[in-house]
Each structure stands twice: as structure tokens, then as C-alpha cells.
Amino acid sequence: MVHRRGYGLGVPSSRRRDRRPADHVIAGTWPDGTVADDDPAAVAAQALARNLAAATDGMSLRQVAERTGVDHTTVRDVLKGLRWADTVTVALLEDALGPLWPGPRPR
């Protein structure tokens, strides 16, 4: 099992991650700043936030919440990099808005 900084030991846990996605920006600001590319979770969270912003352009947070079934505060936090999106959140967002998850990175 690989230990990555800020993620525990990869064992499912109810404990929160010690760093938010936006805390992984090393230059600039979330979601357009530079994220350390050695952190695949932060890279994916950044791409998700960018894709979500593009898919919801012109919609209020409450409109997105009504359309997707995801609470507006969760949508806001994912967009701002304040929260890690879980599988249920991504599934609900993608069901309503289309593909948002960036997929695997080239190796």
C-alpha cells in the first residue's frame, strides 16, 4: 500500500482528509492554479471542479442542487476546492450533467 501525504494509508475511513483539494495548489489559485502532479487525487479534484464549473455555467448553486440532487453547499465546496467529492456526489452530478470525472491519467 502506498502512503500519500494527506490521505492516511489508503484504508477506507470516516476521518476527514487533513488537507482540502485547494490546499494542494502550489502556484496560482483554485481551480486554475498549478497542482503538484505527484498528487493524483488533487489533480482529479481540480479537473472535476473545472468540468463542473463548465457544465453549470450560468446556473445558480440552488439550480444545480435541484437538478442534481446534490446539496448546494456541497456543490459550492467542490467548486471551491473545500471538499473532496465522494463517489455518490460524482455519480449524482454526472447523471444530471454528463461526464465530469477526468478519468485515468496517462502513465
Which residue's entry shows cell 471538499?
Answer: 83
Asked if residue 87 is part of any domain, the answer here is: yes
CATH of the domain at 51: 1.10.260
Which residue segment(s) compose the domain that 70 sits in?
Answer: 21-97
pTM of the model: 0.82
Q: For 44, how many CA atoms within 13 A lie in the half-sphere containing its CB?
A: 14
What is the per-residue burial (b if ≥16 Cβ within 10 Å, else e) of 32-69? eeebeeebebbbbbbbbbbbbeebbeeeebeebbeebe
Asked if residue 104 is part of any domain, the answer here is: no
Q: How many independent structural domains does the chain possess? A: 1
Q: What is the mean pLDDT of residues 80-84?
A: 97
Asked if residue 11 is part of any domain, the answer here is: no
Higher pLDDT, 55 or 13: 55
The pLDDT score that the predictor gives to residue 104 is: 79
Asked if residue 10 is part of any domain, the answer here is: no
Asked if residue 5 is part of any domain, the answer here is: no
- Cα(79)–Cα(46) distance, integer angstroms: 9
Query: For residue 22, is pLDDT > 90?
Result: yes
- pLDDT averaged over every residue in the chain: 87
Asked if residue 9 is part of any domain, the answer here is: no
Dihedral (CA of 12, 16, 22, 27) sign: negative
Asked if residue 55 is part of any domain, the answer here is: yes
Question: What secondary structure does DSSP assign to 61-90, as a single string?
Answer: HHHHHHHHSS-HHHHHHHHHTSS---HHHH
Query: For residue 23, is pLDDT > 90?
Result: yes
